[in-house]
Amino acid sequence: MTNPERLGQDLLFDPLTTKGTAFTHDERRRLGMLGLLPWAVKTIAEQAAHSYIEFSTRRDDLDKHIYLRALQDRNETLFYHLLSEHIEEMLPIVYTPTVGEACRKFSQIYRRPRGLYVSYPDRDRLREVLGNRSEQQVDVIVVTDGQRILGLGDQGIGGMGIPIGKLSLYTLIGGIAPARTLPIILDVGTDNAALLDDPQYLGWRHRRIADDDYYAFVDDFVAVLRAELPDVLLQWEDFATVHALPLLERYRDRLLTFNDDIQGTAAVTLGALHGAVRVADRPLSAQQVVMFGAGSAGIGVLEMVRQAMVAEGLTDAEAVERIWAIDADGLLTDDRDDLSDSQRRFAQPASRVAGWDGRGLADVVHHIDVGILLGLSTASGAFTEEIIRELAAKTERPIIFPLSNPTSHAEAHPRELDEWTDGRALIATGSPFAPIRRGERTLAVAQCNNVYIFPAIGLAVTAARASRVTDAMMRAAATALGDASPALTDPDQPLLPAFADLPEITTRIATAVAIQAVRDGVAPAASPEQLAAAVQRTRWSPEYAAQQPI
């Protein structure tokens, strides 16, 4: 027979089910909670107002982050209700940029367990590790190995802050129920000497394992995951360039999976470009596109740009002719022997640049009719005044996206770009920047934050019961995002919507992605109307449910 007192305490102290002081007097009597709570009964709105006052008293952003994480550990519903009322203010606290500092200090600020720590020394007991998850039914997993956290490099076990933060946004923006999310870190050691020497470091104190052992370990992890949770969406996050694309290629046709740094970054960039080219009145397929930065993220963006150009009617060869990729050693050309297979796809014929004085960014901008300049190089200030002024002289509405994170690594400041192009540039950044002042006007700057994409992907595949994430689904997300660009109705507005509008826009993006999943044959047949209804049904809302009688 169920013990009501025990059930009541379980409900009260479980962060997924508690209502705290919002339990009614009737519920307290029925559930054996009398005496466990103060007399007053609060609404969730009153609780959120009280929590906001507490949040506002914290001395700095990291302290605010710690406060919100503690609230999440105590009461998930209240945590998300509070965030939903203050999205613009709190998004940078629970995720970028503040999460970077939280990752750096993860061991020092660690309070309570959350998610799974899949450690290499436990490699022979991975089924037990996965079986110990707190909730057995999971829709979305975000996994990292902590090697390339934001612009901070190897943070070892501290990288766990990224899956925790990302999944908070899956719930806040995408409406995925918090009980059905699972953050995971693969603890395969760290090459960060400071962490290895730090007595407070909580991870496996060992150098990162060699690649053969690494891939075997990831294979074992994926095999157990497929056995335990065959239908879960697995998002790869913040893996080093050397591993990111190989892991995606290894598993994308075997799992419901995607890499946010490669595909999410590409989709949000393409979404901003969709809006920008319509404002510029020059389609993407008619543009010459220059990418400064040819790592996995940069190549991922160019691959999606290529696909979009082909969708507009170009052949693959014609699309590649319009794409110019530059790394630290200059333009990617077919006479270089240091290119990866993915980079070589975008290598220009060396004969095409014969006679140029050099092959750097300035040379490409000088010789080519560039309309779009993108940066994912982490080279601060690489978009110089001379380069930008020359580019701006070639097109009426230059499209310039300095996308590198964090802010200190951006290729240019939006204010400079606006000045050097006489206010004609269409700008989006990777990091958050203050609005641009132009005379008496203040102009917001669009941030190509992946939060515009990944929560919608999670919501779409969950609602549509998709088995794979296809490139066409990612392009559908980008197109739907581009269609929501405020700049389409007012060219002085930013290229991407305000964060406060994200939950509603995410629903539209998710519906477009779900429809594409059916078209691609990776989801059960359903009409657009049925899919739209399924997306709405799937969304979880941060409101307390009435407690039913025992």
Active-site entry in 80, 95, 214, 251: 95
> Comparing C-alpha atoms, which of 473, 497, 502, 472 is closest to residue 484?
497
List the Cα angle 507/139/485 in 5-degree steps: 25
Q: At residue 490, what are phi and psi to the nearest 5 degrees?
A: -150, 105
The dihedral built from the CA positions of residue 376, 382, 384 and 387, taken in this order, carries a sign that is negative
- Sequence-distant (6+) residues with CB within 8 A of 481 are 267, 268, 271, 272, 274, 452, 453, 496, 505, 509
The answer to whether residue 95 is catalytic is yes
Instruction: Decide: 455 and 173 in contact? Cβ < 8 Å.
Output: yes
CA dihedral 283, 284, 287, 293 (to 10 degrees): 160
Which of the following is catalytic: 64, 166, 170, 201?
166
Q: How far is C-alpha 275 from the geometric centre of its chain's CA atoms?
A: 20
Distance of CA 212 to the CA centre of its chain: 28
Whether 42 is catalytic: no
Burial 41-52 (b: 16+ CB within 10 A, else e): bbebeebbeebe
Separation of alpha carbons 456 and 480, rounded Å: 11
Catalytically active residues are 95, 166
